[in-house]
Amino acid sequence: MCGIVGIYNLKTEIPIEVSTLKSMLAAIRHRGPDEFGIYTDAQIGLGNARLSIIDLSTGSQPIANEDETLWIVFNGEIFNYVELRPELEARGHHFRTTSDTEVIVHLYEDLGPDCLQQLNGQFAIAIWDKRRQVLFLARDRLGIRPLYYTMADGTLIFGSEVKALLSTGRVRAEIDPVSLDQVFTFWSTLAPRTIFHQIYEVPPGHYALARDGRFTVHRYWGLSFPPAGEEDARPETEIAAELRDLLVDAARIRLRADVPVGAYLSGGLDSSTITALIRHYTSNYLQTFSIAFSDPDFDEREYQERMSNFLHTDHRRVECTHADIGRVFPEVIWHTETPILRTSPAPMFLLSQLVRENNIKVVLTGEGADEFLGGYNIFKEAKVRRFWARQPQSDLRPLLLRRLYPYVPQLSAGGSYLEAFFRQGLADTADPVYSHRIRWRNTARLKRLFSAAQRGASAAGDPVAAFIASLDGPFSSWSELAQAQYIEVSIFMAEYLLSSQGDRMLAAHSVEGRFPFLDHRVVEFCSRIPPHLKIRGLNEKYILKKSVSDLLPADVCQRAKRPYRAPIHRSFFPADGTLPYVEELLSPEAVAAAGYFDPQAVARLVNKCRRGKLVSESDDMALVGVLSTQLVHRLFVEDFAAPADKDLHPLKLCMG
């Protein structure tokens, strides 16, 4: 984990000021507080805020090649750098450090953008080719590490977080109404959009080139599946064995670090699998970390303790209360830099704080298993609805859906409400987004809170139609489960889970997350696994359970997935008082001044949540969506304050 920033004179000759780069780095110093580095010449300025993990003594950035014609700043880790370095040395490259960063710059020297194909890692890269006057930006395949950019006054400005761009003084934040409409449909924007007007992200699996006054973006990797029926036909025992081998190696190389490495242990299958792999295949001393909730409806400490005792880890736990979520929520939004519809990032913020307090900089986690091995209820929901659609008058088939959502009272109770909710679009099985249409339609109901101005500004486009238009030709040839997985990975995982709930909450306390299930070798292997080995009946992640059953207690291995959730309305409207920032930001005056929502509609929602009775999942999402949008407006649009840069020490300055 690090942070990178840069300014490139694309169409102008504005002097590159070190003071501006220092301001940008100060804004993201939480990403890398250990040391700082800056490179400048007449054309460009690059900066790095470093979290020292590999090569603590000589890995300071920026780093150059032998003749200093290439300069790199880098955020992330290249896990196969150990294997790549001897090949580069055999081709005549000379190294000054033992870092993974220097491997990238030499590999780029040989291969240019094609170097990305050889990298196994999570990264945001900026390389300045001084001889050719080309800036190369790249982001990892799945978007684990962020990279934002904008154009201002003929310059390209980029950084690991939006606040770095705003800290230049050349960029102003303005919420884009089309992007806000996307958030209130998908839970996130669609890349390359961000919530802010004319501020973009380099999409996952893409790189960009800036040269000769032009800026172009290119795809180098994309998630793909074989045509339906052409998946891996080997016996399931062979597939399970290969999956295990790949996960063992993915976990092994993600333990490469010159600092201690810990792991998250939620008590579920995915994090338990990763922790068990570390325990069984390495000799590492292992600290594990988990979240417990004071509210028993959300608490999983029983399974966390079960796994910690079973694997003999040194376990630490943070207990999260409703009050904790309300207290830290403004800080959470400062780090997400976007509206969100759930409070789930807040406990993750507290968890990374616990990790840092225990002097751990790196944790391995289980993200990605649900997406690539069929773990989410939304996949099973689509499967049941397709089964029901074959006999739409059946009274029994829709009752299977009751098993999926025991935590949503209206749905778990069954009856007419359940049938009416899931019958929407039931027969439209040819719809390319059949699996997600109900979720998006349900989320879009929150737009009833939009102001007339917001509705008018976003009315020109249909966000779902825009997403469907972006789907590649092969999509229609994939299995129904593969199509649903692609949608989930492209939107929810890349744009929300790995960002608002992942990178940002870890980086807030200078912690790096590593994700063995997101090793591109594992991802590409899982894409070839037949659907019936991912979901057997309604048994999710069947092949993963078969692969690791000997490593875990049977009750954990076979336990039905419990989605990670966090309390909402009781966190913001406690019975014993009020939260001043909530009262202020949701007041009719503040809502009207910001202009995104209808003050009367918000007032009705607030009164309902304050009473605390009969608050639906939809109302909870609406509350978080409105409050987080109001916070984004206050923190970034109305009152952005760039952090001071006085403590950037030690600072390495390189002049070209």
- Mean pLDDT, range 135-151, rounded to an integer: 98
Tens-digit pLDDT profile for residues 355-398: 999 999 999 999 999 999 999 999 999 999 999 999 999 988 98
CA angle 358, 360, 363 (to 5 degrees): 125
pLDDT band at 450 (very low <50, low <70, confident <90, very high): very high
Q: How many beta carbons lie within 10 A of that of residue 24, not counting itself?
A: 31
Out of 80-94, 500-514, 544-558, 638-652, which region has the weakest mean confidence (pLDDT)?
638-652
Q: Using N-to-C axis directions, what is the helix angle for 177-186 and 434-444, rounded to 10°?
A: 120
The pLDDT of residue 13 is 86
The residue with tokens 């889970």 is 497
For residues 136 and 127, the answer to whether their CB atoms sit within 8 Å is yes
Q: Are 6 and 157 in contact (CB under 8 A)?
A: yes
The tokens describing 291, both together, are 């979240």
Q: What is the CA radius of gyration of the chain?
A: 24
Backbone phi, psi, residue 96, to 5°: -100, -20
The CA-CA-CA angle for residues 91, 94, 99, to 5°, reads 110
Average pLDDT, the chain: 94
Q: Specify whether the CB–CB gap between 209 and 220 falls below 8 A.
A: no
**CA 188 to chain CA mean position, Å:** 10
Tell me 292's DSSP state.
Answer: E
- At what angle are helices 617-632 and 599-611 packed, to 10 degrees? 120
pLDDT at 283: 83
Confidence at residue 461, expressed as pLDDT on a 0 to 100 scale: 83
Residue matched to tokens 């966390």: 304
Task: Find residue 4's DSSP bridge partners.
Answer: 48
Quote the pLDDT of residue 460.
Answer: 78
Q: What is the pLDDT of residue 99?
A: 96
8 with 208: CB under 8 angstroms?
A: no
Amino acid at 120: N
> Which residue in 51, 82, 85 sits closest to 363, CA to CA?
51
Collapsed DSSP state (helix, strand, coil) of residue 50: strand
Contact 482, 228 (CB under 8 A): yes
Q: What angle do CA 258, 366, 119 make, to 5 degrees?
A: 55
Residue 139 has a pLDDT of 98
Helices marked H in 139-219 = 162-166, 177-186
One-letter amino acid of 24: M
Domains along the chain with CATH numbers: 2-221 (3.60.20.10), 236-372+490-557 (3.40.50.620), 378-478 (no CATH), 569-638 (no CATH)
| Token code pair at residue 28 | 């993201």
**211-222 as b/e: b if 16+ CB within 10 A:** eeeebeeeeebe
pLDDT for residue 498 is more than 90: yes
Give CB contacts under 8 A, 24+ apart, made by 471-479: 471/432, 472/222, 474/224, 474/225, 474/227, 475/432, 476/432, 477/227, 477/228, 478/225, 478/226, 478/227, 478/228, 479/225, 479/228, 479/229, 479/231, 479/531
- At 277 the three-state DSSP class reads helix
Residue 119 has pLDDT above 70, yes or no: yes
The arrangement of strands across the sheet holding 362-364 comes to 314-320, 287-293, 261-264, 362-364, 512-514
Contact 540, 384 (CB under 8 A): no
Q: Give the Cα separation of 11 and 210 in Å (integer).
A: 10
Rounded to an integer, what distance in angstroms lies between the CA atom of residue 610 and that of residue 118?
54
Mean pLDDT of 2-11: 96
The pLDDT tens digits for 275-332 are 999 998 888 789 999 999 998 888 889 989 999 999 999 999 999 999 999 999 999 9
Sort strands 261-264 and 287-293 into parallel, antiparallel or unpaired.
Answer: parallel
Cβ atoms 166, 194 nearer than 8 A: no
Torsion 440-445-449-452 (CA) sign: positive
pLDDT by residue (tens digit) across 565-588? 888 899 999 988 889 999 999 999
Q: What is the pLDDT of residue 576?
A: 81
Lowest-confidence region among 18-27, 61-70, 298-307, 341-350: 298-307
Q: Determine if the peptide bond prior to 192 is cis (ω within 30°).
A: yes
CA distance 21 to 38: 7
Cα(531)–Cα(482) distance, integer angstroms: 8
CA angle in degrees (0–180, nearest 5) for 53-492-357:
35
What is the structure's pLDDT at 100? 97
Two structure tokens written together for 455: 């509705």
Q: Which residue has the higher pLDDT, 330 or 419?
A: 330
- 602, 591 contact by CB (below 8 A): yes
pLDDT of 410 reads: 62
Query: If you search the block for the tokens 């399931």, which residue do you land on?
Result: 236
DSSP label at 319?
E
- Residue 105 to residue 65: CA distance in whole angstroms: 6
